[in-house]
Structure 1
Amino acid sequence: MSLSRRTLLHGVGATVASLGLPHAALSAAPIVFGYTGVTDFASVFVAASEGFFRRRKLEVELRLIPLNPTIPAALQSGSLHIGGPTASVFLQAVNGGLDLVVVSGGAVTAKEITHAGLVARAGSGIHNAADCVGKKIGVPGLDAFLHITFRAWLTQHGVDHRRVQFVEAAFPLHADLLRGGSIDAVLTGEPVIGRIIDHNVGYVASYYLTFMPDNRPTVLHAAHRQWVQQNPEAMRAFREAVHEGAHFARQPQHDARVRAAMGQFLKIPPEVLARMPIVRPSASIDREQLAYWVDMMQEQKMLKTAPDIDRLIAK
């Protein structure tokens, strides 16, 4: 974690610990949910568009967050009630002292799904791991999912990730940064990949995530522990709605409606939306899934201590 982000998280934690979360931020309705601009939140998009939240008398406001690593601090401060950090961002925030728990799972890895990868600028000459040495690569969150998995992929191919320069860049900026030549490649996902290719700005150098085992969480739905304790019924209702959304999204006969839900919240052009792969979400989360990320992060020396995983999943 960078010094600035660590300082921010500890500062927010100290403020909350001394003052307590504001009561308004802990109310059950409306629930403010923070997501980033990727398809991994399909189960939440579907739950909102198909009325699964309303059926449970929940009012949920979906709020787009530009950078994933800012979500934990927003949960701690109360500006978000539930949010979708990647597993690595969540675990590092907890390791830094934030009292967060997982409410439900989001999307999971699957080798047949190629919705994210290394996208290189046209003319960059990047085609494999070795070509990344000395290059500047944009990531939608330092130490977030795409970043740490890419470092693991580089290591697997014998490349020292410290020889690659990583810069933080929000998803909506990826195409423009490549077009302008200020970076050589980005780690990105759909719908951004489709837009980059459609405008001949870049190409997919590698769908590198296929090196990962199946059923590992890409994003989590997390909340502050105090919010969960004060709103257990709302938390359980949210979890049930997301489970229903995930089940709905896994049925091929619902593909058109799932795409429509993603288009509504991600503002995807129809021509990109039509050919975009659908991430099959799984709202379940267990100890083994989190332990996978703990192991990877410890290998990269990202955690000071091993977390108590059993305390991190809301009951």
Structure 2
Amino acid sequence: MINRRTLLATGASLAATSLPLRAQAPVKATFGYTAVTDYATVFIAREEGYFVKHGIDVTPQMVPLNPSIPPAIQSDSLQLGGPTPSVFLQAVEGGLDHVVLTGGGATSKKMTGLGLVARSGSGIKTAQDCVGKKIGVPGLGAFLHVGFRAWLKSQGVDYTKVNFIEAAFPQHGDLLRGGSLDAVVTADPFMQRILSSGAGYVASYYSTFLPDGLPSLVFVARRDWVQKNMAAAKGFQAGIAEAAKFLVDPKNSVKVREHIGKYIKLPPEVLATAQISPPLPVVTEPVLGWWADQMVEQKLLKTKPNLANLIVK
């Protein structure tokens, strides 16, 4: 028989061995983002404590250009990041073994928070007027670039006759004012700043032609990092899901904008008028496939990848 002293000793031993598990610190990870509101759920999850609650300590880090995110993840300068779907798919085809954990913002026909903004006096009013012009995009092959080229094609315009120049969002207003660019494909809150300054005007809310519910961003990591840190990866997904619920609750609107403003460094009066995309915490094969199809058509991808292998469910 086991006596009381043995039972007490065994219990104490078990308690001692379980303490490190309960006290284990959250996995630390740096998340790369660009200065747009579609990363709202990341900022919310960080500020509201959802990430730490689920066992991952995420530090957002601003990156000037979206296409820089996958190489930074690959080099482990970032562990997580939010490339646009097109940037992600190009990186995968280029040999990077990255996978999607969640999505950021989603397209909506009600959204007028992005568009083609032309320089005042440029005379650009239609898709045809873009031929021969210098148009800035915040990433060659990224979301705005690919979607805008799809719109040009839908309007009967050969997008190869448009001169696209890569320019980070914060530079758009200055490049228009200085005459270096004829127009920019841009998004809030930078679009609102350009319009309020008089440097440009909206030539087209071209994105309203896109189907609803497409991811504007995908939140990704290296496959081997996810395999090594599966609990933290699932924690990231859970944190984003909680943040998405917070985002769509009207009573949180002021806090949402405060959280966004903290990370994209814009004053409250600018953020007050900026539209915020609906969240897309779960990315599916069909919505990622829409982007893959566009990219194959635009010769940005050679073939459509096995999408099921790219999404962590």
Query: TM-score normalized by structure 2?
Result: 0.90
How many angstroms apart in 2 are the aligned matches of 1:292 and 1:57?
33
Corresponding letter in the other structure for 1:243: A
How far residue 253 of structure 1 moved from its aligned partner, in angstroms, is 2.0
* Residue equivalent to 2:129: 131
CA distance in 2, matches of 1:166, 1:120: 14
Alignment check: 8 A CA contact 2:258 2:268 kept: no
The answer to whether the 8 Å contact 2:295/2:301 transfers is yes
- Which of 70, 95, 98 aligns to 2:96? It is 98
Instruction: Give the whole-Å Cα distance in 2 for the aligned partners of 1:57 and 1:302.
Output: 37
Aligned to 1:229: 227
Instruction: Return the offset for 1:28.
Output: 6.7
Q: Tell me which residue corresponds to 1:281.
A: 279
Aligned-pair CA distance for 1:312: 0.1
Separation in structure 2 between the aligned mates of residue 195 and residue 260 of structure 1, nearest angstrom: 18
Cα deviation, residue 46, structure 1: 0.8
CA distance in 2, matches of 1:69, 1:217: 16
Measured against aligned partners, the alpha-carbon deviations of 1:197-232 in whole angstroms (never above 9, x if no partner) come to: 121111111110000110000000000001001000
Identical positions, percent: 53
Letter in 1 for 2:190: V
Structure 1: tracts of 5 or more residues without a match: 1-26
Which residue in the other structure is 1:87 paired with?
A: 85
**Unpaired segments of 5 or more residues in structure 2?**
1-24
Asked if the contact 2:27/2:55 (under 8 Å) is kept, the reply is no
2:114 aligned to which of 113, 116, 119: 116
Paired residues, number:
289
Task: Give the aligned residue type for 2:83.
Answer: P
Give the structure 1 partner of residue 143 of structure 2: 145
Which amino acid letter does the alignment assign opposite residue 194 of structure 1?
Answer: Q
The question of 1:107 aligning with 2:93 is answered: no
Q: Which structure is larger by alpha-carbon Rg, 1 or 2?
A: 2
- CA drift of 1:306 comes to 1.9
Residue of structure 1 in register with 2:199 after alignment: 201
Q: By how many angstroms is 1:302 displaced? A: 1.3
TM-score by length of 1: 0.90
Report the counterpart of residue 33 of structure 1 in structure 2.
Answer: 31
Cα RMSD of the aligned pairs, angstroms, is 1.2
- Displacement over 3 Å in runs of 4+: none
Q: SS in structure 1 opposite 2:100?
A: strand
- 1:215 corresponds in structure 2 to 213
Do residues 180 (structure 1) and 171 (structure 2) align? no
2:19 counterpart residue number: none
Residue 270 of structure 1 deviates from its aligned partner by 1.5
